Amino acid sequence: MTTPLRGGPLLLGVRHHGPGSARAVRAALDAASPRVVLIEGPPEGDALVSLAADPQMRPPVALLAHAVDDPGRAAFWPLAEFSPEWVALRWALTHDAPVRFIDLSATHSLAFKDDSEEGDGDGNEAGPDGAPGPGDRERALRIDPLAVLAEAAGYDDAERWWEDVVEHRGGTDGDDPFAPFAAVGEAMGALREEYGDGGHRRDLVREAYMRLQLRAARKEFGDDQVAVVCGAWHVPALGAGSTATADRALLKGLPKVKSEMTWVPWTHHRLARHSGYGAGIDSPGWYGHLFGAPDRPVTRWMTKVAGLLREEDRPVSSAHVIEGVRLAETLATMRGRPLAGLTETTDAIRAVMCDGSDVPLALIRDRLIVGDVLGEVPDSAPAVPLQRDLTRLQRSLRLKPEALEREVDLDLRKETDAGRSRLLHRLRLLAIGWGEPAAGRGSTGTFRETWRLRWEPELYVRVAEAGVWGTTVLSAATAKAESQAVSATALSEVTALAEQCLLAELTDALPVVMKALADRAALDADVGHLAQALPALARSLRYGDVRSTDTAALGEVAAGLAERICVGLPPACAALDADGAAEMRAHLDGVHTAIGLLPATPDSPAGDLSGRWAAVLRKLAARDTVPGVIRGRATRLLLDDGRLPEDEAARLMGLALSPGAPPADAAAWIEGFVGGTSGGGMLLVHDERLLALVDTWLTGVPAGSFTDVLPLLRRTFSAYEPGVRRTLGELVRRGPAGGGARPDRAEAGIPGFGAAVDETRADAVLPVLRLLLGDPDPDPDPDPDHDHRIDHDNDLAGVAR
């Protein structure tokens, strides 16, 4: 057969993931019809070659190798539809030609300490033309062959030069399909002669191994019956005159690890250079389009872009497509390019379809230029038992892995959604980050969950790592939870783990976790740690309710923690600095919310928790030794719960804002009372006495002290909604009436204000509210002397949380 190297094997130097190289490889193989095809890749992949012909196999895919004893030590060899290696692999299978991978085996490459997860050791870390890409310090000093060749040709952009000389040439040079490879091999030989071969031992070892495999194939099939597809940088090394003895000497004593290999789906996003992949390309989606378009690639690309923009409700017509194609071709002519490339088409799209804006271009880049394609592998591909169980669960729950990020809303009252929730929580415990909880838009009830899902190829490595805990998702999550419970040292770690176990319904792990929780809680005397742990326990009790889980033991621990907090919190709040006071205020909010969720039964160790907690808040609100931010917050929490009359709240505010109080302490009290996002602004809007107190204090702050309290006040009031700030400004601008009191806002005709609260009208809302929330009907003849507003407020607050 005719070859670029007379009397030798057919050496096809390629650019990894280059559609022009892929077309050229296919043309060369069709012309040469070799008896065997050798491909740069790990020899362990030979046993998996036949799967590439399976109808279920859809690129992009990757060979994944991992160390058996250390699954986190893994490497990928990605292949896209437009990768020359994939084209060669498919050609060989179609023509019944043997395929062999000839790069250094994964057994050795995984053992090199300088291997990266996607490095040259994984076979495809090479740069744009197959040269070693960046990885360690030595690689960083090497040249980029494409950049050198582009500069020699007068180009300042290596990507643009490669498109002009390869991608836009159709992959052939006249009638000779081997001419491009002869030219590439000659260029790489000149570069290696000028700049050297890099000298990195791993690369020298790889090339020695490839030469040995090439010699064996030549001996078996004949010199002119062997085709080699490898990175262009390696072509001169494979044709060099090194001896077999010298090559074997380089391979002597290489480190080894026991490894396993399989096919896994890959994504266009992970092929992109910005993802950190060493052999990455800037535009996988664009290259896939160039490889798949039978003709008029620019016109077809513009049509794709127009379709995407229409889906996003942008007004794009066929006239835009025609004008965009004309502009791209004109730009290519003006720039001296044979055809319009990605740069010209993008410039034309920006001008014609995006009105000069880069905002729609970001969408086009993400969805088309890079792309969100996720490959598929057949079910018969080897996999660890945990991966097979996960795949089974994904199918039974109809939760398909996708490369594009999406949100999923779950209703835990439905069996399928509850199963999805269990699976996602178990995977999170196993550090398999397929999904992350997100804030739901429709409901804040415990029976609702919202997840943000995105499947990345690296998760297959995480699954392999988690396989040490068990062969199923349930058994692995249970074993890991039990191990974490035993090894955890902080109380907050165990409470968070208990919450995870309840969310994931790991009933077998709960006894171990609960024992560890009780032990840690008994030994921890830090009130801050206890306060930090209680909210998670309270949330866990509610999760147990919605998931029908027995949480009696958890309730006892939570009640015990609450009582210890009630005893230890007042002395812990004395003599705190500003940072300590701010931290304790956050604990105060968390404990208050948690105690509102805990069941208050007379037989519990803590007795009436809500009553005991209210007494603690009264102590904090009245003690002068407690920082102002905590005193103000305690006062506000009592007022919100209806346990503090409005007159008493006004009295406490008056004391805190008295002329004798230091301005900084008074500002801190205000921050605690009306700060944050808990409706403090609306409280001032509707309670003119409190607003007047704040207004009077603020106007009386001495000029010398005003600059000290301004940052605190600004932080407090800037958290309010714009409408609330505007209303407060209008009220303050009107000022008090002549007698010092503010005018009645109802009489003044200010919208939204009445003379007083109309309790009859307010109570009329409750039946509709119960219907919406699914609450049972209350006693039809309630006690008229009982203030039901507190009960309703607590119920609604619990549901909202």
pLDDT tens-digit map of 76-99: 899 999 999 999 999 999 999 999
Are 389 and 298 within one domain?
no
Question: Six-digit token pair at 285?
Answer: 């989606």
Q: How far apart are the first and last CA of the chain?
A: 76
CB 632 within 8 A of CB 671: yes
- The reply to whether 458 and 441 lie within a common domain is yes
The total of structural domains in the chain comes to 5
Q: Which residue do the tokens 């001419």 mark?
A: 179
* 201 and 311 part of one domain: no
Q: Say yes or no: 50 and 86 in one domain.
A: yes
Q: What are the Cα distances from residue 426, in Å, to 196, 407, 474, 540, 590?
A: 52, 18, 7, 15, 26
Residue 328 lies in a domain: yes
Claim to verify: residue 745 and residue 767 sit in the same structural domain: no
The label of the residue with tokens 């490459």 reads 109
Q: Which among 466, 500, 535 is the end of a domain?
A: 466
pLDDT of residue 768 exceeding 60: yes
Mean pLDDT of the chain: 79
Q: What sign does the dihedral 180-183-184-185 (CA atoms) show? A: positive
Q: Residue 548 has what pLDDT?
A: 54
Q: 795 lies in which domain range?
A: 763-800
Helix (H, G, I), strand (E, B) or coil at 133: coil
Burial class of 149 by CB neighbour count within 10 A (0 to 12, 13 to 18, 19+): buried
- Is the same domain home to 433 and 335? no
pLDDT of 273 reads: 58
Same domain, 302 and 418: no
Whether residues 768 and 748 fall in one domain = no
Categorize the per-residue pLDDT at 130 as very low, low, confident or very high, splitting at 50, 70 and 90: very low
CA separation (Å) from 282 to 82, 312, 510? Answer: 14, 24, 48
- Residue 569 resides in a domain: no
In a domain, 570, yes or no: no
Q: Is residue 637 in a domain? A: no
Shared-domain flag, residues 98 and 194: yes
Q: Are residues 47 and 69 both part of a single domain? A: yes
84 part of a folded domain: yes
pLDDT on residue 326: 95
Structural domain includes residue 108: yes
Residue where one domain finishes, among candidates 234, 252, 281: 281
Q: Report the percent of the chain where pLDDT is more than 70.
A: 82
Quick check: is 120 in a domain?
Answer: yes
- What mean pLDDT comes out for the span 420-435? 93
pLDDT at 139 over 80: no
pLDDT classification of 317: cutoffs 50, 70, 90: very high
Which range has the worst mean pLDDT, 29-43, 454-468, 549-563?
549-563
**What's the pLDDT score for residue 211?**
92
Most confident residue range from 101-105, 621-625, 710-714: 101-105
Can you give the pLDDT at residue 179? 85
Predicted local confidence at residue 741, as pLDDT: 46
Contact 103, 42 (CB under 8 A): yes
**Taking 90 as the threshold, does the pLDDT of residue 34 lie above it?**
yes
Q: Give the pLDDT confidence of 571-623 residue by residue, as tens digits.
A: 888 878 888 888 888 888 888 888 887 765 555 444 477 888 888 888 888 88
Q: To the nearest 10°, report the CA torsion of 236, 238, 243, 244.
A: 160
Q: 101-115, 165-179, 316-330: which has the highest mean pLDDT? A: 316-330
> Would you say residue 792 has pLDDT above 80?
no
Mean pLDDT of all residues in 124-150: 49
**What pLDDT, on the 0 to 100 scale, is given for residue 464?**
86
Out of 448, 466, 484, a domain closes at 466
C-alpha 495/C-alpha 511 separation (Å) is 13
Place of tokens 């044979």: 338
Give the per-residue pLDDT at 775. Answer: 61
- Residue 476 belongs to some domain of the structure: no
Convert the pLDDT of each residue in 238-254 to its tens digit: 877 788 899 899 888 88
> 507 pLDDT exceeds 60?
yes
Quick one: pLDDT at residue 171? 45
Average pLDDT estimate for 116-138: 37
Query: Is it the case that residue 373 has pLDDT exceeding 90?
Result: no
Dump pLDDT digits (tens) for 288-300: 998 888 889 999 9
Say whether both 156 and 98 belong to one domain: yes
Query: Is pLDDT of 705 > 60?
Result: yes
Whether the per-residue pLDDT at 793 is higher than 60: the answer is no
- Whether 516 shows a pLDDT value over 90: the answer reads no
CA distance 168 to 24: 12
| Mean pLDDT value across residues 496-505 | 85
Please compute the mean of the pLDDT values over residues 49-77 and round it to a whole number. Answer: 90
Torsions phi, psi for 780 (to 5 deg): -65, -20
Q: Are residues 410 and 273 in the same domain?
A: no
Q: For residues 181 and 13, is the Cβ–Cβ distance under 8 A?
A: yes
Q: How confident is the model at residue 691 (pLDDT cuts 50, 70, 90)?
A: confident
Predicted local distance difference test score (pLDDT) of residue 131: 36
Q: Is the pLDDT of residue 789 over 90?
A: no
pLDDT average, residue stretch 716-741: 70
